[in-house]
A = this chain, B = another copy of it.
């Protein structure tokens, strides 16, 4: 009955394999953090290591593809005139609870220009709304964008240090603590 037996070989499979790799990497990074072995990603995608490295020559290119959606989502939210700094931070913390990998990549020291570019995109996203929030007196007047990035980095670090079951509680307390430190 001519079942379209899916194969992942041949030229026409390239796009599908690429997508499968990104999806698998998203899950693996979420489960095991940014440093997860890439061989696990290839296995989860049902694809050989060769294909992984052909599509994404290094960890960074794969990660950038995985996180592009999240960054775009942030930028879209920031573009909304009625969105506040609070909304942005809420979205970031939600993304971070889902997977700390993005913040791990962005906030660790790295001289890779592609990573720096992403960090700059995030900083830019926060910048405008932060100025607004300061004017409105919602946050301390001396709060800087760097402070926000620092806070998000600390938040992500707490999550990576705890085992999964204890995360939600620790996340709530940690973010409350950080929030009180930022509020006016």
Q: Which residues of A contact B (CB under 8 A)?
A: 107-109, 140, 144, 146-147, 150-151, 153-155, 157-158, 161-163, 166, 170, 173-174, 176-182
Q: Chain B residues near A146 (CB, 8 Å)?
A: 173
Residue in contact with A147 in the complex, picked from B140, B163, B173, CB distance below 8 Å: B173
Q: Chain B residues near A157 (CB, 8 Å)?
A: 153-154, 157-158, 161
Alpha-carbon gap, A80 to B184, bound state (A): 35
Copies per complex of this chain: 2
Distance to closest chain B CB from A167 (angstroms): 10
Alpha-carbon gap, A173 to B144, bound state (A): 10
Alpha-carbon gap, A56 to B157, bound state (A): 29
Alpha-carbon gap, A182 to B181, bound state (A): 8
Q: Determine whether the beta carbon of A153 is less than 8 Å from that of B147.
A: no
